[in-house]
Structure 1
Amino acid sequence: MDFIVHQSLKIVESGVIPDHAIRAAIRALSKKRLIQEGRYDPEQGAHRYMDVLNMLKKSEIAVETDKANEQHYELPTEFFQAVLGKRLKYSACYFPTKTTTLDQAEELALQIYCERA
């Protein structure tokens, strides 16, 4: 399936397929996914939600960390020092207000991790 998706993306990105056709395909795929997720049936949606929630509770917190670390090592340390906050946190930050700084957002995200652990 990955091969088909990869080839399809190459064709779409080449500009051969008209924009309206791409949009129609995206709408059809989105509708199919919403049906699968139970969007149009509240009872089915609630069951699907609980299934996903239970799956998440049983799953690992972080997956494929080796692959992620490899990708990060492709860039020099100076890059991260230039674009991240003082904690060099690249996974997520929490910005509760428009005036929250990057350093504050890193700290707030770490506090949330501790509270929820």
Structure 2
Amino acid sequence: MLNLAIKLTELGIIPEYVLRLAIKRIIQERLLEIPINTEERASKKADFIEELRASPIALSTVQANEQHYEVPP
């Protein structure tokens, strides 16, 4: 469904005011996900930082290199 919405937006079928309303709703939902409690917020931030440290620096390096060094025929 999201892919369809993106395609319709890119084609200019969805009016701008609908896009603005959708974006505002998404932002409001994201803001509600942020904990009000300072300790809980700090804990979530620390968890996120640890997750970043445990994950690889770059993803799909082979594909990226293929695209970057691609030579036209």
TM-score range, shorter chain: 0.7 to 0.9
Q: 1:13 to 1:75 in 2, by over 3 A?
A: farther
Percent identity, aligned pairs only? 37
Please, which of 28, 31, 35 is the counterpart of residue 34 of structure 1? 31
Deviation of the 1:75 alpha carbon: 5.9
Give ranges in structure 2 of 5+ residues lacking alignment: none
Q: 1:31 to 1:54 in 2, by over 3 A?
A: same
1:67 maps to 63
Looking at secondary structure, tell me which structure has more helix per residue.
2
Moved over 2 A (4+): 42-45, 73-76
Whether 1:56 aligns to 2:52 is yes
Measured in 1, the distance between the counterparts of 2:71 and 2:18 equals: 38
- Larger relative contact order, structure 1 or 2 (CA cutoff 8 Å, min sep 6): 1
RMSD of aligned Cα (Å): 1.9
Relative to the length of structure 2, the TM-score reads 0.76
Measured in 1, the distance between the counterparts of 2:39 and 2:18 equals: 33
Measured in 2, the distance between the counterparts of 1:6 and 1:12 equals: 10
Relative to the length of structure 1, the TM-score reads 0.52
Question: How many corresponding residue pairs?
Answer: 71
